[in-house]
Chain A
Amino acid sequence: MLFNLTPEQFFYIFRGAGWTIVLSMLGVAGGVLLGIPIALARVSRHTWLKRASGLYVQINQAIPLPVTMFVVYFGISIGGYTVPVLVAAALALTVNAAAYLGEIWRGSIESVPSTQWEASESLALSYVQRMQYVILPQALRISIPPTVGFVVALVKNTSYAVVIGMSELTYSSRVVNNTTFQPFVIFTIAAGLYFMMCYPLSVLSLRLERIVRQA
């Protein structure tokens, strides 16, 4: 017995960490899928698209993620559907991450020098061509470091799924703490596991930033 914990209790915590990874991946996938159209709408020429996406971002950046979790969770159930809590948590993360990623990518698109827009316009490229061949490839480079940085925040945000009872790392460590009451040991293990997921990504984000800045 290590730290007075049984192997089963260790396994329970590690299984929670596994679900945290699954939830993070779902959140990243959903955030990217929804974030791309939001970023494009934010830089669109249509005023109503700009306004609608701007409103989406503003609202979702002003609502705490636990509240989004609850709204999605109860929203699904009053819609008459029963889904696993993992799906509700992933949806809430998606809604939240899309707002932040959309804003990061809008910044990246807008930081492509305006001469690039002008040059592609004088080459008579259509809006889609301009985006596809000139702007987005350059914006992609700029956007990678802050995007990786946001993934760190997203991994930490999965801990908020505890409020709707999703059995990820925070939840499983709390359950084990409730039965063993060794908070320092258990939450240090949990923190260590989160750290092992987040720190490599943080370092990666910093390195990529240096590379992009040098080029």
Chain B
Amino acid sequence: MIYKFDFSFLLQYWPELLRGVWLTLRMTLLSILPGFAVGTLCALGRIYGPVNLARAIKTYVELIRNTPLIIQVFWLFFGLSALHFRISALAAAVIALVVNVSAYTAEIMRAGFEAIPKGQLEAASCLAMSRRQMIWHIELPQAVERVYPALVSQFVLMMLATSIMSQISADELTGAADLIQSFTFRGFEAYIVVAVIYLIIVSLMRLVMLASAAMLFPRLRALRSPL
């Protein structure tokens, strides 16, 4: 059997693809900062918090990291609708992504905090810094700098994971391909096109995040040392 490739659907369906890209990007961008913030707070809670809090956070991290995102999304989305909570698919997707990526970020940031040399903390307490000042001015900047590449990889993985949100009817990029497939029966071509678009998004995301490293970390810039 000879199969003729046909990409002519692009002429008609490019607005759907564009809308899909936009939704994928929105989900990702909306989840990055809250995910990072919650993850960092969890890491701090595990290191400095009372034993019970640390234990609770550990349980949360292990539960999230050992179950698939899609089950978490279903649990939240279908669960909320069973409670007659009306919530948009985008909101459900963002909440699930934040809850999910926070657990991974917490582990990454914990490693970052624990890798800070003791001398730094001793110096900070010699300067009579409060715990809060110490975390904000000494620990956080150094920890982020150290684990930045791991954070970038984690957020790229999170962007890729948004591709299952079409399962709860948030029509992101993969959802756009599903739609084209069902109208044109050109499934193979549609998903190849979408795969190429994901490749471009990943490259741009890495580029932007690594370029912003120069802005975020003045110390590295001053030392001209690579990340």
Binding site for B on A (CB under 8 A): 59, 61-68, 70-71, 73-75, 78-80, 152, 156-157, 159-160, 162-163, 170, 173-174, 177, 181-184, 187-188, 190-191, 194-195, 198-199, 202
CB–CB A198/B78 < 8 A: no
| Residues A64 and B198 in contact in the complex (CB < 8 Å), given A156-B68, A183-B75 | yes
Q: Tell me how far the C-beta of A57 lies from the nearest C-beta in chain B, rounded to whole angstroms.
A: 13
Contacts of A174 in B (CB 8 A): 74
Q: Tell me how far the C-beta of A17 lies from the nearest C-beta in chain B, rounded to whole angstroms.
A: 12
CB–CB A67/B198 < 8 A: yes
Contacts of A195 in B (CB 8 A): 63, 66-67
CB–CB B188/A152 < 8 A: no
CB–CB B78/A177 < 8 A: yes
CB–CB A80/B1 < 8 A: yes
CB–CB B68/A59 < 8 A: no
Per DSSP, are chain B's interface residues mostly helix, strand or loop, or mixed? helix
CB–CB A78/B66 < 8 A: no
| Residues A194 and B71 in contact in the complex (CB < 8 Å), given A71-B188, A74-B187, A163-B167 | yes
Contacts of A74 in B (CB 8 A): 181, 187-188, 191
Residue with the greatest number of chain B CB neighbours at <10 A, chosen from A66, A163, A177, A199: A66
CB–CB B67/A191 < 8 A: yes
Chosen A-B contacts, 19 in total, with CB atoms closer than 8 Å, are A63-B160, A64-B164, A65-B163, A67-B198, A70-B181, A74-B188, A75-B188, A78-B3, A79-B3, A80-B3, A160-B70, A177-B78, A183-B75, A184-B79, A188-B75, A194-B71, A195-B63, A199-B66, A202-B66
Is B44 among interface residues, defined by CB-CB distance under 8 A?
Answer: no
Contacts of B191 in A (CB 8 A): 67, 70-71, 74
Known: A80-B1, A162-B167, A199-B62. 7 other contacts (CB 8 A): A61-B202, A63-B195, A64-B164, A70-B187, A78-B188, A159-B69, A183-B74
Q: Tell me how far the C-beta of B49 lies from the nearest C-beta in chain A, rounded to whole angstroms.
A: 21
CB–CB B195/A198 < 8 A: no
Q: How far is the CA of A96 from the CA of B158 in the complex (A)?
A: 16
CB–CB A191/B72 < 8 A: yes
